[in-house]
Structure 1
Amino acid sequence: MSPSNVVDVHTFLDARPIGRQQWLVIGLGLLILVLDGFDTMMMGFIAPALVQDWGLQRHVLGPLMMSGLVGLSLGSLFAGPLADRFGRRVVIIASVAFFGFWSLACALAQDLTMLTVARLLTGVGLGATMPNITTLLAECAPLRRRSTLVTSTWCGFAFGGAMGGVLSEYLIEDYGWQAVFVAGGLMPLVLALVLAMLLPESLRYMIQAKQPQARIVAAINALAPGAANLHTRVVSSEHSGLVAVRQGVGSLVRGPYRLGTLMIWVAMFAGFLNLYLLSNWLPITAQSAGMSLSQAAIIGAVLQLGGAVGDFSVGLKMDRWEQNNVVSLMFAGSAVVSVLIALWADGALALYVLVFCLGYCMMSANAGCFALAANFYPTAIRATGVSWVFGIGRTGAILGAGAGAVMMGWNWSITQIFLFLCVPALGAVIAIQCKRLVASRALGAVSG
């Protein structure tokens, strides 16, 4: 291929088929999110064994459950601006190593306070990793396949959570709950070394950051050998019809981005509240309702497996139909299934099927919100925008984990818990429709 005089990175990526380097980013992103899901969801599976081993009451686990979520929120809020300033690659690698180290530290905890602090710091690393890998995936993907690739990669998070349920059952039985933390720490540390060798930087970010011409040309040629040389003028027409935005959190709530940002925050808050209430407390609630420890672990894994299928499929729908309507439909579906579980689930098999359907709707709605955010913001503020969607969502997760502790203290039944889940889900439907009807009209045709 002879080099072009001008390369528009925006159209260059969107016009080409997905190449080897882009598949590499997708594969590494999938691995990262598998380990993120494993580490993030492991406390829900460890909790019953921890209660038994340390002789604790269920409701005293509230601060422990919330500590990791506080860390996730803090990591998300700080990491996005750092990635917009210093690059996606370096923040991702450092974050994976950080949460791996502190997961190992959790295995050494001797009391609830030590474990709570270690989980807080593990959460900071996890919170910094997830929004930035989402941003990197979005910027490497062609626009016509962006939602599909972002959300299908997020099935790795659900798969990791399900893997935590299956693996923790065997590790706890044979080696104790500490072994789950050891596994959750060693795997990210190994992956961080792999990322340091293989993970590329976002080409869109390199243009935005005005990095040296030689590096940009090398990145272009890694995607299409011979497409550029040192004399090639490299530009980006992304969002060319919009007023330029400055980096920083303030840009998210200014001008045409204000209402859309606020509505995505509301939806993500509601979606994470429901997800983390269930992920942290469903196994232990199922056990208190008469299920065995093994059955309780399985029902938690079924929720995650349903989410994995939903994450894979929702992006296909979003790339084919109106994105906001697809996400709204998933939130509405989670409300309907919650009612079915509360009122008509009779027997273990029926519960497993309905919990699978709930995971499908609930997690695909959350993954859809990530894709909405990645499509909504331009490169200059994309990492900040996506990370703040995560961070605000994590405040909902914190409330969900705390609400679960209160529900345990009040001895709420499974029926009461699942009826409660309808309220946040329906609030998310309203928020996404407000974004579609008002914010999109104000912003115009934002793409890329």
Structure 2
Amino acid sequence: MERTIDISKAIDQSKVGAFQTGIFILCGLCLIMDGFDVQAMGYVAPALIRDWKITNVFLTPAFTAALSGILVGSLLCSMVADKLGRRPVLVFTTLAFSLLTLLTAQANSIGQLVALRFLAGVALGGIMPNAMTLVGEYTPSRLRVLMMIIVSNGFNLGAVIGGLVSVSLIPAFGWRAIFYVGGAIPLLIALLMIFFLPESLQFLAVRAKSPDKIAKWLKRVDRTVQTDTTTQYVVQEQKTRGVPLMRLFGEGRAVGTLLLWTLNFMNLLNLYFLASWLPTVFRDAGYSLSNALYVGTTLQLGGTIGTFVLAWLIGRLGFIPVLTTSFAIASVSIAFIGQPMLSIASLFAIVFGAGLTVVGGQGAVNALAGTYYPTDLRSTGIGSGLGVGRVGSIVGPTMAGILMGNGWAARELFYAATVPAVISVIVVFSLQWVIKPQRSIVSKTEALAH
């Protein structure tokens, strides 16, 4: 007699064991690598500016090159992954990123640096959306939001590690050492993924591919599952035709998609403005190189802690009230960063608050998108939101560089940065009328958190 197994139901009814934990760790390592690299230019900028004897404005293309590449990679690789699978895209992009980052350490001109950072960004853009999608698809629904937020925190942790490594390596070995380290580690991660990372079971079932692999990996999720050669694997969603990106606007998703894109744009604009220029702004303001680097690290440390705090609060209160409050606090924190005559302790406390809400809030935004889209659109949904957000991440550092070149003081820069945070508050508040069907998922997380 033919047996039918609903993959989504089987995962929802499973306990999180060693196999799934291993997947979460591998995906978390991918995000640590992502966070390390994205923050790398912010950390090396003060040393590189002095080494190459250039002004801040000349380094702006190097900041935006990687972010432009990430924009291309987020959109392109996510659509490829929804057609070919999460696993091959993750492995290939990680290997490519490793090679290109190692080559970046050999750059001897702005032109070379910009070209290599752009290509590395394309590879990097395929990593976060697919890692987050795979985490969501191997997590029971009662844990999904919480686990996606926690794993996404690897990005913030990577940025913190980048700051601590930079404080140690740059004074001793120069800025190039950061890219040697940042290129060698992804090579090890890619090798681990080749041997240990599975494909999404929902993806294989929707595409009616590799029933033998589905059976093998499903038994590692739940050892009690009984399968044979006649077993049919299904999910509640069906394989669909058409360009995934266009389908984000179908079936009543258009307004939700546009609001999520706007939210990603505004928050990533602020995140990358702060991450890229904070160390340089405070180095120029007279702080020591070590203190300037520690300011950037404090931003990411706030984000690392903020991710867990927001995950806990979302489990109890839901996405909308928590993110609305978080971005309101971000508006105030950013406005205070540039105030003159702040004590060093006050400065670090305010930057920590901005990191907790801006950087920590991005993980929650990614998780919100992951709950909004079905399996065959999930990677495209997350990736497109991050891709549009990368436009903001390009605009933020670019505008900051231009404004500094025009003589804007630090206080004026940070006042301007409050505007995107205020817009984020308005967008999140508006989402309450769009994403009502997702509240059941939050409720399940809430029950677990208690």
TM-score, normalized by length of structure 2?
A: 0.94
Specify which of 165, 168, 174 is matched with residue 167 of structure 1: 165
The answer to whether 1:318 aligns with 2:314 is yes
Secondary structure of the corresponding residue to residue 144 of structure 1: coil
- Shift of residue 54 of structure 1? 0.6
How many Å separate the matches in 2 of 1:4 and 1:56? 70
The answer to whether the 8 Å contact 1:153/1:312 transfers is no
- Residues 245-260 of structure 1: pairs in structure 2 closer than 5 A: 248-260=244-256
The answer to whether the 8 Å contact 2:69/2:125 transfers is yes
How many Å separate the matches in 1 of 2:319 and 2:4? 33
Q: Which residue identity does 1:40 align to in structure 2?
A: V
The answer to whether the 8 Å contact 2:95/2:190 transfers is yes
Residue 300 (structure 1) aligns with: 296
The answer to whether 1:346 aligns with 2:342 is yes
Specify which of 95, 99, 103 is matched with residue 93 of structure 2: 95
Specify which of 197, 201, 204 is matched with residue 203 of structure 1: 201
Residue 233 (structure 1) aligns with: 232
Residue 22 (structure 2) aligns with: 24
Secondary structure of the corresponding residue to residue 253 of structure 1: coil
The answer to whether 1:43 aligns with 2:41 is yes
Secondary structure of the corresponding residue to residue 342 of structure 2: coil
The answer to whether the 8 Å contact 1:246/1:381 transfers is no
Q: Which residue identity does 1:205 align to in structure 2?
A: F
More displaced stretch, 58-67 vs 326-335: 326-335
The answer to whether the 8 Å contact 2:269/2:396 transfers is yes
How many Å separate the matches in 1 of 2:294 and 2:285? 14
How many Å separate the matches in 2 of 1:409 and 1:228? 66
Residue 410 (structure 2) aligns with: 414
Change (3 A) 1:445 1:156: closer
Q: Which residue identity does 1:317 align to in structure 2?
A: L
The answer to whether 1:265 aligns with 2:261 is yes
- Shift of residue 85 of structure 1? 0.5
More displaced stretch, 166-175 vs 370-379: 166-175
- Shift of residue 348 of structure 1? 0.6
Q: Which residue identity does 1:417 align to in structure 2?
A: L
How many Å separate the matches in 2 of 1:135 and 1:315? 17
Residue 155 (structure 1) aligns with: 153
Secondary structure of the corresponding residue to residue 253 of structure 2: helix
- Shift of residue 213 of structure 1? 2.1
How many Å separate the matches in 2 of 1:446 and 1:94? 36
Residue 326 (structure 2) aligns with: 330
Q: Which residue identity does 1:272 align to in structure 2?
A: L
Residue 132 (structure 1) aligns with: 130
Specify which of 255, 270, 277 is matched with residue 274 of structure 1: 270
How many Å separate the matches in 2 of 1:143 and 1:311? 19
Residue 372 (structure 1) aligns with: 368
Specify which of 6, 9, 32 is matched with residue 7 of structure 2: 9
Deviations 1:123-182 (Å, cap 9, x if unpaired)? 111111111101111111111211211111122111111111111122211111111111
Secondary structure of the corresponding residue to residue 182 of structure 2: helix
Secondary structure of the corresponding residue to residue 351 of structure 1: helix
Secondary structure of the corresponding residue to residue 411 of structure 1: coil
Residue 391 (structure 1) aligns with: 387
Gaps of 5+ in 2: 443-450
- Shift of residue 436 of structure 1? 1.8
More displaced stretch, 53-62 vs 411-420: 411-420
The answer to whether the 8 Å contact 1:145/1:319 transfers is no
Specify which of 74, 82, 85 is matched with residue 83 of structure 2: 85
- Shift of residue 417 of structure 1? 2.0
Residue 446 (structure 2) aligns with: none
The answer to whether 1:70 aligns with 2:65 is no
- Shift of residue 245 of structure 1? 7.5
How many Å separate the matches in 2 of 1:6 and 1:160? 42
Residue 186 (structure 1) aligns with: 184
Deviations 1:328-367 (Å, cap 9, x if unpaired)? 2221121122233345872111110111111000112211
The answer to whether the 8 Å contact 1:148/1:314 transfers is no
Give the total of aligned pairs: 441
- Shift of residue 49 of structure 1? 0.6
More displaced stretch, 312-321 vs 7-16: 312-321
The answer to whether the 8 Å contact 1:324/1:372 transfers is no
Q: Which residue identity does 1:23 align to in structure 2?
A: T
- Shift of residue 244 of structure 1? 6.7
Specify which of 217, 220, 227 is matched with residue 219 of structure 1: 217
Deviations 1:73-103 (Å, cap 9, x if unpaired)? 0000101110000100110111111111111
How many Å separate the matches in 2 of 1:59 and 1:392? 24
CA RMSD of aligned residues (A): 2.1
Deviations 1:344-393 (Å, cap 9, x if unpaired)? 87211111011111100011221111011100000011111111011000
Deviations 1:267-292 (Å, cap 9, x if unpaired)? 10000000100110000000111101
How many Å separate the matches in 2 of 1:445 and 1:206? 28
The answer to whether the 8 Å contact 1:247/1:381 transfers is no
Secondary structure of the corresponding residue to residue 234 of structure 1: strand
TM-score, normalized by length of structure 1?
A: 0.94
Secondary structure of the corresponding residue to residue 263 of structure 1: helix
Residue 355 (structure 1) aligns with: 351
The answer to whether the 8 Å contact 2:142/2:441 transfers is no
Change (3 A) 1:227 1:122: same
How many Å separate the matches in 2 of 1:30 and 1:214? 27
Q: Which residue identity does 2:122 align to in structure 1?
A: V
